[in-house]
Amino acid sequence: MERVTLNVEKRGRAGKGGARSLRREGVIPAVLYRGGNSMPVQLSGKELSQFISKTAGEQVIVNLQFSDDMKQAIVKDYQVDPVMGSLLHVDFQEISATEAIKVMVHVVIRGEAIGVKRDKGVLQHGLREIEIECLPDKIPGHIDVDVTNLGIGQSIHVSDLKLGEGIRVLTDTHEVIASVIAIKEEVAAPVAPTEAVEPEVIKKGKKEETKE
Fold topology of 102-181? RNA Polymerase Alpha Subunit; Chain A, domain 2 (2.170.120)
Handedness of CA 129, 132, 136, 140 (dihedral sign): negative
Tell me the whole-structure pTM to 2 decimals: 0.75
pLDDT tens for the chain, 212 residues: list them: 668 999 999 988 667 778 888 999 999 999 999 988 999 999 999 999 999 999 887 889 999 999 989 999 999 999 999 998 899 999 999 999 999 999 999 999 999 999 999 999 999 999 999 999 999 999 999 999 999 999 999 999 999 999 989 999 999 999 999 999 998 766 556 666 665 555 555 544 444 444 44
CATH for the 3-95 domain, from 2.40.240.10, 3.40.190.10, 3.40.50.200, 2.20.25.190: 2.40.240.10
196 Cβ neighbours under 8 A, 6+ residues apart: none
